Structures are given as structure tokens and as C-alpha cells.
Amino acid sequence: MVDVRTLAAAVLGVALGLLFLVAPGTVIRVHTAGRVPGNRHGRYGEDGVSTERDADAESGGSGLPTRWRRLVQAAGAVLLLGGLYFGPTLI
């Protein structure tokens, strides 16, 4: 008989791993939803144009740091490998 918890671990590991690998930006946006940016100083109407341009260039134009996306993709690879490990143990 198939152990339900092991099956759930395998399915969730593969599903979340694929999601983290394919759409890391979405995962980061969902995780950080509702958080206020820490750089909210200055007077109304002032833009930090130079810092925004620098941050945008570092992120590849998506507004998210490349380092964060790579970290989420690495976590996705670990989840995918874990799911693929638990899957064959059910057979």
C-alpha cells in the first residue's frame, strides 16, 4: 500500500520545485506581498533616480535582485530533487 505522506511529499516537492525554477519572480513577489520598502525617506516628489536606475540594471530590468532569483531557483532545484527521490521509494 502507498504511504500517503510519502506520496504527498513527492508530489509537492516536484510541483513546488518546478514552480520555483520556472517562476522565481512570482514566488518572490508572493513572499514579499504587503511589505513596505525600507528606503522610504525623503520629501514627497523626490525620486532616487540614480539609485533606482542602478538597482534596475542589477536586476536585469525586472525590479528583483538577481541574487534573490538565483536563491529561489536553487531552493526549487533542492525541492525537485527531493520529490524525485521520494517518488521511486513508493514503487
Per-residue pLDDT of the chain (91 residues; tens, 9 = 90+): 678 888 888 999 999 999 999 999 999 988 888 776 666 666 666 665 555 444 555 555 667 788 999 999 999 999 999 999 888 887 7
Query: Buried b vs exposed e over 1-14: b needs ≥16 C-beta within 10 Å?
Result: eeeeeeeebbeebb
Cell, residue 80: 525537485
Looking at residue 12, its pLDDT comes to 93
Question: Given this model, what pLDDT does residue 39 score?
Answer: 63
Domain boundaries, the chain: 4-32+50-90
Give how far Cα 47 sits from Cα of 38, 50, 56, 58, Å.
14, 9, 14, 18
H/E segment holding residue 91? none
* Per-residue CA distances from 40 to 2, 44, 86 (Å): 53, 10, 46
